[in-house]
Amino acid sequence: MANRKVLLATYYFPPCGAVAVHRMLGLARYLPRFGWDPVIVAPPTARFEVEDPSLLQRVPPETALVRVPFPTGFLPKLRERFDPLSSWLSPAYDACEQVLRDHPIDAIMTSGPPYCIQRLGMTLKKRTGLPWAVCLRDPWHVNRLAGHELPFPVRQIEARREARAFARADLIIANTPIMRHGIVSAYPDTADKTIVAPNGFDPEMFPRTEPRRPLDKITLLHAGELYFGRDPRPLLDALAQHKQHPVSGLPPIEMKFFGRNSVEGLDLDHAIRSRDLSDRVTTHGVVPYSQALNALTAADVLVLLHTPGYRMSVPAKLYEYLGARRPILALAEPEGDVDWVLQSSGVPHRVASPTDAGAIRAALFHLAHQLVRNELAMPCDDKLFRFSREGMASAVASGLDWALAGGKLESLVGAGAAT
């Protein structure tokens, strides 16, 4: 039986190097294994984002890809002053109409942010009557972190748009259980059509793990952008304390930071120098994806930083950390989505509140002692499948199958795809 086709409209796709690209790239690569061929509509590049042309090599050559440039001229620029990125919707709609003429499309999926793209899906749903899936990589209106809300008038507009989209969508795809819970709590009628499909990693992208060297030092690595209030200074305090007062039985601890620092008011290099850590902590800026993966597998402990007070969402780098099969020090709120991923995956880890310097020190030294004693074992591949991009695509394909059949989600919940 021939695969069905899904029109997938997204703002993020290679050569864009933003982290959001990897979810879309995973769907392009793995949905066909589960009976769905995506026809992707995306800009040639994403504004305000870094590019990584090497990611183009990961796009399957058989993928149908329609590039839609942003329009130019006075009116599109004026529109974007009030509704950023929305000027792309008009040419994207024309391109989608052409896709519908050229391909036997069975379903439509729109992936946000930016959330204006959901208006494109709603229009196509109304015009065609095809099943429409809303894919959410981050919170829209519901679930937003206190203190990071939009201005009140914009909030009201986005709340109405979200409610309309969720009411008309045939499938809503959240990427964490807490996000799903927030959606269903706010919109009870969505319970039967809201599933969880976590982000994931590609096992084949990671180099073969070599036997670990004798630990004359322990190397920590944080890979990814520092933003949204993610502050490494409490961790730096713990490293400075260990340098000044070494813990018995532990070698020196060093750390590397890969990625941009976008936290307002944080001068990371100054924070390192002021703690006399320049000989042990280094910053490397943005590096190519393949280089970052090599560095992950070479590190002894991978550090995850999440926003203080925020239990929902999972920084996308966590899935790459799982693929690297290294122990993880997660500076995140306990009993949140990060905790859920770590517990479910079985990867050795410790979780500490990102603002609790004492808890961070205790968690770091606990992992370090286990490393020295060689007490950390990695989980089997089957346990990690759910958090691979193939596993993500499997969950999305099951949801599309259900939406096309007009059924209920009880069977998916039982199989774990919607919990």
Q: What is the CATH number of the domain that holds 315?
A: 3.40.50.2000
In DSSP notation, 141-193 reads: STTPPTT-PPPHHHHHHHHHHHHHHHHH-SEEEESSHHHHHHHHHH-GGGGGG
Please indicate, yes or no, whether residues 19 and 131 belong to a single structural domain of this protein: yes
Please indicate, yes or no, whether residues 175 and 229 belong to a single structural domain of this protein: no
Domain that residue 309 falls in: 203-381
Please indicate, yes or no, whether residues 229 and 288 belong to a single structural domain of this protein: yes
- Residue 233, pLDDT > 80, answer yes
Give the percent of the chain with pLDDT over 90.
70
Q: How confident is the model at residue 409 (pLDDT cuts 50, 70, 90)?
A: very low
Residues 6+ apart with CB under 8 A from 28: 8, 13, 38, 40, 59, 60, 63
Please indicate, yes or no, whether residues 170 and 261 belong to a single structural domain of this protein: no
CA angle 31-36-42, nearest 5°? Answer: 70
Residue among 391, 380, 313 at smallest CA distance from 137? 313
Residues 37, 39, 45, 49, Cα dihedral to 10°: -50
- Residue 413, pLDDT > 50, answer no
Please indicate, yes or no, whether residues 33 and 124 belong to a single structural domain of this protein: yes
- Residue 150, pLDDT > 70, answer no
Residue 24 phi, psi dihedral angles, 5° rounding: -70, -40
Please indicate, yes or no, whether residues 146 and 266 belong to a single structural domain of this protein: no
pTM of the model: 0.85
Distance CA 235, CA 243 (A): 13
In DSSP notation, 370-394 reads: HHHTT---PPPHHHHGGGBHHHHHH
Distance CA 336, CA 176 (A): 10
Residue 78 phi, psi dihedral angles, 5° rounding: -65, -45
pLDDT digits (tens, 9 = 90+) for 85-134: 889 999 999 999 999 999 999 999 999 999 999 999 999 999 999 999 99
Please indicate, yes or no, whether residues 259 and 154 belong to a single structural domain of this protein: no
Please indicate, yes or no, whether residues 166 and 212 belong to a single structural domain of this protein: no
Please indicate, yes or no, whether residues 253 and 327 belong to a single structural domain of this protein: yes
C-alpha dist (Å) from residue 50 to 42, 81, 120, 143: 16, 22, 25, 27
Please indicate, yes or no, whether residues 260 and 136 belong to a single structural domain of this protein: no
Length of the chain as a residue count: 419
Please indicate, yes or no, whether residues 269 and 332 belong to a single structural domain of this protein: yes
- Residue 332, pLDDT > 50, answer yes
Element (H, E) at 42: strand 36-42
Task: Please state the domain count of the chain.
Answer: 2
Please indicate, yes or no, whether residues 254 and 402 belong to a single structural domain of this protein: no
- Residue 169, pLDDT > 70, answer yes
